[in-house]
């Protein structure tokens, strides 16, 4: 162990065991499946891989994939109980692997993990150093924990546009599901990063919130047909980011999508009930994808990948431009023991922005 590491360890004494929300079984009710334990082992130096950092988690956030895993949606492709869930975290690096070069003990960071390697509903967790970004000092722990997965998902969507800086500037684009965690970042990045003309779809209660994110035209899907509004304005969309899913969004969006435009969905339809539903949706995707090769709009399904360098660019940009991440509403904040309630809230599909989980209080004066 290096001398600098041992000095920092005096600041952050790492316990052998920690509090963690452990998913003990799959099921429909997170309250029945998640259990707060006090004796979950902390990964110690010998179990940290050379390219990993050990992070003291100050805050985490909840994403739909977490309750979907509890419901067994990822089946054998996801983590298996008993396991700790949670993708996003903000916290302090308290140990570094032998080949880590980008971070040192004491760095305040934010990061998210790939869905197959979850585990931020706990006090200490490891990340590959390439998944991690440094937290701007003025960004709160909860804002930082609410940022990685959703912003990086939208960033991934934007990679499907060849040259977004020139192709999207002042051009009409659409975000469906704009009041949710991912949709909020969709509006932020399209408006403030790329200067697009942003149409955004949400329900009546969230019109003002979505406008506050910077959307140019906010459409209430409860009272208006967004394809009609866009076509009455004489616009053809260059890009659609679908954060809701389903055939309806594809069909409506295609009526107002430019032939050279791009449709990116991050979702599967909510109503995949059985084998034939899945076959039918797979056929739709295959058909759209095949048409993409002709003159029709490009069609993509985006999956976020942890990318610390891209995450760093986004948080630094948001910080420089007046802490834009603060525009994303924190719907509610829970303590670690209340993660099941946070899951239940998110499962209503009616939360606005993000749900944060406060994990630890003592940051040793660092921020």
Ligand X SMILES: NC(=O)c1ccc[n+]([C@@H]2O[C@H](COP(=O)([O-])OP(=O)(O)OC[C@H]3O[C@@H](n4cnc5c(N)ncnc54)[C@H](OP(=O)(O)O)[C@@H]3O)[C@@H](O)[C@H]2O)c1
What mask of x and - would describe binding to ligand X in positions 301 to 330, judged by CB under 6 A? -xxx--------------------------
Per CB under 6 A, 120 contacts ligand X: no
Per CB under 6 A, 183 contacts ligand X: yes
Residue closest to 12 by CA, chosen among 54, 74, 63, 46: 54
Per CB under 6 A, 179 contacts ligand X: yes
**Distance in angstroms (rounded) separating the CA atoms of residues 185 and 192:** 10
139-142 CB contacts, 8 Å cutoff, 24+ apart: 139/110, 139/315, 139/319, 139/323, 139/325, 141/58, 141/59, 141/90, 141/91, 141/358, 141/363, 141/367, 142/59, 142/61, 142/90, 142/330, 142/333, 142/356, 142/358
Binding residue for ligand X (CB under 6 A) from 203, 231, 344, 363? 203
Choices 59-67, 72-80, 124-132, 133-141 (CB under 6 A): range interacting with ligand X: 59-67
Per CB under 6 A, 243 contacts ligand X: yes
Cβ(264)–Cβ(241) below 8 Å: yes
- What is the nearest approach in angstroms of ligand X to the Cβ of residue 349? 4
Per CB under 6 A, 267 contacts ligand X: yes
- What is the nearest approach in angstroms of ligand X to the Cβ of residue 44? 31
**Distance in angstroms (rounded) separating the CA atoms of residues 366 and 242:** 38
Size of the site for ligand X (CB under 6 A): 30
Per CB under 6 A, 182 contacts ligand X: yes
Residue whose CB is less far from ligand X, 176 or 359:
176
Per CB under 6 A, 180 contacts ligand X: yes
- What is the nearest approach in angstroms of ligand X to the Cβ of residue 68? 6
Residue closest to 165 by CA, chosen among 141, 146, 140, 193: 193
Per CB under 6 A, 202 contacts ligand X: yes
Residue whose CB is less far from ligand X, 141 or 221:
221
214 contact partners, CB below 8 Å, separation of at least 6: 187, 188, 191, 192, 198, 327
**Distance in angstroms (rounded) separating the CA atoms of residues 361 and 58:** 7
| Positions 134 through 173 that interact with ligand X (CB under 6 A) | 149-150, 153
Choices 9-17, 60-68, 76-84, 98-106 (CB under 6 A): range interacting with ligand X: 60-68
| Positions 335 through 354 that interact with ligand X (CB under 6 A) | 346, 349-351
- DSSP class of residue 274 equals S
Q: Which residue is at the shortest CB distance from ligand X?
A: 180
């Amino acid at each position: 162990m290096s001398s600098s590491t041992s000095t920092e360890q005096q600041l952050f004494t790492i316990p052998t065991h920690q509090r963690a929300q452990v998913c003990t079984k799959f099921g429909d009710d997170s309250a029945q499946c998640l259990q707060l334990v006090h004796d979950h082992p902390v990964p110690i130096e010998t179990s940290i891989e050379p390219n990993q950092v050990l992070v003291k988690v100050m805050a985490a956030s909840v994403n739909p994939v977490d309750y979907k895993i509890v419901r067994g949606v990822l089946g054998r492709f996801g983590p298996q109980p008993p396991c700790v869930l949670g993708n996003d975290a903000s916290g302090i690096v308290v140990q570094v692997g032998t080949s880590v070069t980008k971070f040192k003990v004491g760095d305040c960071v934010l990061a998210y993990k790939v869905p197959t390697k979850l585990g931020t509903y706990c006090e200490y967790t490891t990340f590959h150093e390439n998944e991690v970004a440094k937290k701007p000092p003025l960004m709160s722990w909860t804002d930082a924990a609410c940022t990685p997965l959703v912003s990086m998902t939208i960033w991934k969507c934007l990679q499907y546009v060849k040259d977004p800086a020139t192709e999207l500037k002042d051009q009409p684009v659409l975000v469906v599901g704009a009041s949710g965690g991912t949709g909020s970042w969709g509006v932020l990045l399209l408006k403030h990063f790329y200067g697009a003309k942003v149409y955004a779809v949400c329900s009546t209660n969230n019109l003002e919130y979505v406008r506050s994110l910077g959307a140019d035209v906010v459409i209430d899907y409860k009272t208006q047909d967004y394809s009609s509004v866009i076509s009455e304005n004489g616009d053809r969309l260059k890009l659609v980011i679908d954060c809701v899913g389903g055939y309806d969004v594809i069909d409506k969006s295609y009526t107002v999508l430019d032939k050279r435009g791009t449709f990116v969905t991050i979702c599967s339809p909510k109503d995949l009930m059985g084998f034939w539903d899945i076959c039918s949706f797979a056929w739709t995707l295959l058909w759209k994808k095949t048409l993409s090769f002709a003159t029709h709009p490009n069609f993509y399904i985006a999956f976020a990948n942890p990318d610390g360098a891209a995450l760093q660019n986004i948080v630094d940009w948001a910080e420089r431009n007046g802490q834009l991440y603060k525009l994303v509403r924190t719907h509610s904040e829970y303590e670690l023991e209340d993660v099941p309630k946070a899951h239940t809230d998110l499962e209503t599909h009616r939360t606005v922005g993000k749900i944060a989980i406060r994990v630890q209080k003592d940051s040793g004066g660092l921020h």
